[in-house]
Every structure is written in structure tokens, then in C-alpha cells.
């Protein structure tokens, strides 16, 4: 007989062990899946998790992990504030898109000027755009009590339509022969979010992600605001008695995640992606939710989780190209990661008891 028993306190050990166990379980079940597909599971696992870091071509893949992981970490850090406080911003993807549109629009309005001011202006506009888009569900929630999960999610689709409209209309490249898509910002020095050291993958978005991690760490562990965030999530009533204004908390948390999402979008559009196109967004805003939870909503955890997620993208691409693995198998692997994490998470708050169940 086996019984699940609630722990008096969440296990500190399992808080750290759960993600590791989830990764191991994912590798095992993933390996079985790959074997069922007729591939050598060890070879596939090695290709996905080891080759991008240490193979002969790793000099190319390592920077790619930074490029892929940068926006994920930036987005996830923003989301973690709200998630800790029980505020569910599911629409980071939309804020990411709007940030990119606003930033790119400010830049393109000044084309083809050459001044060092353009890029900082774009950064500012990107953050503001993402912030403003996040304020819509935040204000609706505070003012009318709407559900921020639904509103922020729905606004993703609105943002996608706006993106298509921009790519086809206002921001379309006048020299693009009628094809959709803006000018390529990364080919215009004043607006380009270039690699800071050539071949390193380090662009301003990656730098911003690292800064966000440090900033979030300090705020959450050392600052009174961090305490209020945690209190709001764990004991909303107690937070209220302690003088935390829930409305203000919603506005601030949504604002932070919106602004960081907007920044991520801007750095992407001015750098790796280069242009506003109909399919500019590739789901970073949603993947970041996985990253945030995989990282235990802790800044350092998110940094590691973002790196791991980026690794599966890069390694997954290699496995497809070299071993003929279908794309869906990689997506399954990524989905399993969150699935197992949530499953294993039970052990943080509960424990197994073996032997004769004492009926409560």
C-alpha cells in the first residue's frame, strides 16, 4: 500500500531535485521513443544534449544557444514576477510582437539616418510597446475584474493580426517588389543589434537577459518588493493586511513582464531576425512559460532552464539534419520536459508513505 501524504512544508531538497529528475526522466522516455522510431537512443540523446556544446562544430552551435536562449530567459524572467504573485500573464507572445513592431517602427521612421541614437530609441520604444500591450489586461483586471489569463492570451491573436498588417502595409519594404516584410534592420548599421564580439552570439538581447537575471535575483531576494511579490502569491490575504495593494501589484508585475517581452521582441527584430515579417514570432512567448516553471520561477533556475531549452532546439535541429529524426519527436521531447516536471513536482509538496496505510 502506498499513500501520498502532504508534507508539512515543501521539501527543500525536492525543489532542486525535481527539475533534475524531470530531465533524466525525459531523456529516458525520449530515448525509448527514439528507439521505437528505429534510431539509436544514445546517439540521439548525445546529438541533442552533447553535440551542440562539445562536438567539432560546437564553435558554431554555442553562440546559437545564446541567440535562442536570450529571448527565452528575458521573457521568462518577466513572467516569473507575475507567476510568483499569482498573476498569470499568458500573452507574452503578443507583448513580444508589439515590442518588435514599436521598436522597428521607430527605427524605420528614421531610415536611412545614421546616428547612434537610433538603436537606444528603438530599445526604449520596444520596451514601451510591450509594456503598453500588457497594460491592457492589467488595467482591465484591476478596473473590471476580468480574467487576465484570457485577455492576455486573446491579445496574442490580435497582435499577430497587427503584425501581418504591418508586414503588408505600413512597415513594408518599399524596395521589396511588393513582397511582405520590412527592410532588414540588421543590415542597417544604425539600427542593427549586432553581435558585440563577432562569432560569439552575444548581442544586446543576451546581455539584457543576463542583466535581467541579476536584477531579478536582487529584487526578489533582497528588496521589499520581492517580499511583497512572494507574499501576494503565497498568502494574498496576509499580503493585503501587510499593506500590499493588489491592484498596484498586478500593474507592476504585468508591466515588468510586458516591458521585458517587448525588449526581447525588439532585440530579435533588430538582430537575429532582422525584419518584421508575417511569421516573425515563433512561439518564444509560450515556450518561456515552460522555461519559467522549469526554472522554479527562480532567476538562476530560469537562466539554466532557458539554456537547456535552447539546447534542445539547437540539438533537435542537428538530430533532424543528421539522423533524420522527425520534427515532431523533438517537440514531444520538449513537451515531456514540462510534463515530467509537473508530475515530479508532486514530490515537493507530498511524500510517499509505504506500508499499511493508516486511515486518516
Q: Where on the chain is the footprint of other proteins (CB under 8 A)?
A: 57, 60-61, 64, 67-68, 161, 164-165, 168-169, 177-181, 184, 268, 272-275, 277-280, 282, 313-314, 317-318, 320-322, 324, 326-328
Of 175 and 358, the one with the shorter C-beta distance to other proteins is 175
Asked, as a colleague might, if the bond just before 112 is cis with ω within 30 of 0, I would say yes
Strands (E), the chain: 2-6, 350-354
- Exposure string of 5-22, with b = 16+ CB inside 10 Å and e = fewer, is eeeeeebeebbeebbebb
CB of 254 to other proteins, least distance (A): 27
Closer to other proteins by CB, 328 or 360: give it: 328
Closest CB to other proteins among 122 and 314? 314
Residue 272 C-beta: closest distance to other proteins, Å:
4
- CB closer to other proteins, 61 vs 133: 61
Question: Rounded to the nearest whole angstrom, what is the least distance from the CB of residue 7 to other proteins in the complex?
Answer: 42
Grid coordinates of 341: 516536471
Q: Decide whether 44 or 314 has the Cβ nearer to other proteins.
A: 314
Nearer to other proteins, 132 or 318 (CB): 318
> What is the three-class DSSP state of 325?
coil
Would you state the cell numbers that stand for residue 5, as one nine-digit string?
A: 501524504
5: which strand partners?
A: 351
Q: Is 237 exposed, middle or buried (0-12, 13-18, 19+ CB in 10 A)?
A: exposed
Q: Measured from the CB of residue 152, what is the shortest distance to other proteins in angstroms?
A: 21
Smallest separation (angstroms) from other proteins to the CB of 150: 20
Q: Residue 326 — left, alpha, or beta (φ > 0 → left; ψ -120 to 50 → alpha)?
A: beta
Cβ atoms of 148 and 89 within 8 Å: the answer is yes
Task: Pick between residue 247 and residue 326 the one whose CB is nearest to other proteins.
Answer: 326
DSSP assignment of 115-157 equals: -TTHHHHHHHHHHHHHHHHHHHHHHHHHHH---HHHHHHHHHH
Least CB distance to other proteins at residue 108 (A)? 16
* Residue with grid cell 513592431, as numbered in its chain: 101
Angle of helix 299-323 relative to helix 41-49, nearest 10 degrees, comes to 130
Query: From the CB of 281, what's the least distance to other proteins, in Å?
Result: 9
Closest C-alpha among 281, 268, 259, 345 to residue 81: 259
Amino acid at each position: 500500500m502506498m499513500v501520498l501524504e502532504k508534507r508539512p512544508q515543501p521539501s527543500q531538497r525536492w525543489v532542486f531535485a525535481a527539475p533534475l529528475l524531470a530531465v533524466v526522466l525525459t531523456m529516458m522516455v525520449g530515448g525509448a521513443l527514439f528507439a521505437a522510431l528505429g534510431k539509436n537512443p544514445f546517439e540521439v540523446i548525445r546529438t541533442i544534449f552533447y553535440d551542440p556544446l562539445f562536438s567539432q562544430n560546437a564553435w558554431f552551435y554555442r553562440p546559437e544557444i545564446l541567440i535562442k536562449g536570450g529571448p527565452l530567459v528575458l521573457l521568462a524572467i518577466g513572467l516569473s514576477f507575475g507567476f510568483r504573485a499569482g498573476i498569470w500573464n499568458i500573452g507574452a507572445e503578443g507583448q513580444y510582437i508589439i515590442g518588435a513592431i514599436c521598436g522597428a517602427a521607430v527605427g524605420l521612421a528614421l531610415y536611412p539616418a545614421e546616428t547612434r541614437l537610433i538603436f537606444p530609441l528603438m530599445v526604449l520604444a520596444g520596451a514601451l510597446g510591450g509594456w503598453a500591450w500588457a497594460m491592457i489586461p492589467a488595467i482591465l483586471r484591476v478596473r473590471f475584474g476580468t480574467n487576465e489569463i484570457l485577455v492576455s492570451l486573446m491579445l496574442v491573436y490580435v497582435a499577430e493580426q497587427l503584425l501581418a498588417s504591418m508586414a503588408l502595409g505600413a512597415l513594408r519594404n518599399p524596395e521589396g517588389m511588393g513582397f511582405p516584410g520590412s527592410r532588414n534592420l540588421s543590415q542597417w548599421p544604425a539600427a542593427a543589434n549586432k553581435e558585440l564580439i563577432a562569432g560569439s552570439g552575444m548581442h544586446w538581447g543576451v546581455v539584457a537577459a543576463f542583466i535581467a537575471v541579476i536584477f531579478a535575483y536582487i529584487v526578489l531576494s533582497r528588496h521589499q518588493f520581492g517580499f511583497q511579490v512572494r507574499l501576494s502569491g503565497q498568502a494574498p490575504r496576509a499580503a493585503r493586511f501587510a499593506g500590499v495593494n493588489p491592484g498596484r501589484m498586478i500593474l507592476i508585475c504585468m508591466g515588468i513582464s510586458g516591458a521585458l517581452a517587448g525588449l526581447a521582441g525588439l532585440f530579435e527584430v533588430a538582430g537575429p531576425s532582422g525584419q518584421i515579417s508575417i511569421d516573425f514570432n515563433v512561439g518564444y512567448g509560450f515556450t518561456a512559460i515552460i522555461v519559467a516553471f522549469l526554472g522554479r520561477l527562480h532567476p538562476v533556475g530560469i537562466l539554466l532552464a532557458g539554456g537547456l531549452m535552447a539546447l534542445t532546439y539547437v540539438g533537435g535541429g542537428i538530430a533532424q539534419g543528421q539522423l533524420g529524426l522527425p520534427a515532431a519527436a523533438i517537440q514531444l521531447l520538449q513537451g515531456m520536459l514540462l510534463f515530467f516536471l509537473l508530475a515530479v513536482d508532486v514530490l515537493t509538496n507530498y511524500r510517499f508513505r509505504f506500508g499499511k496505510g493508516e486511515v486518516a
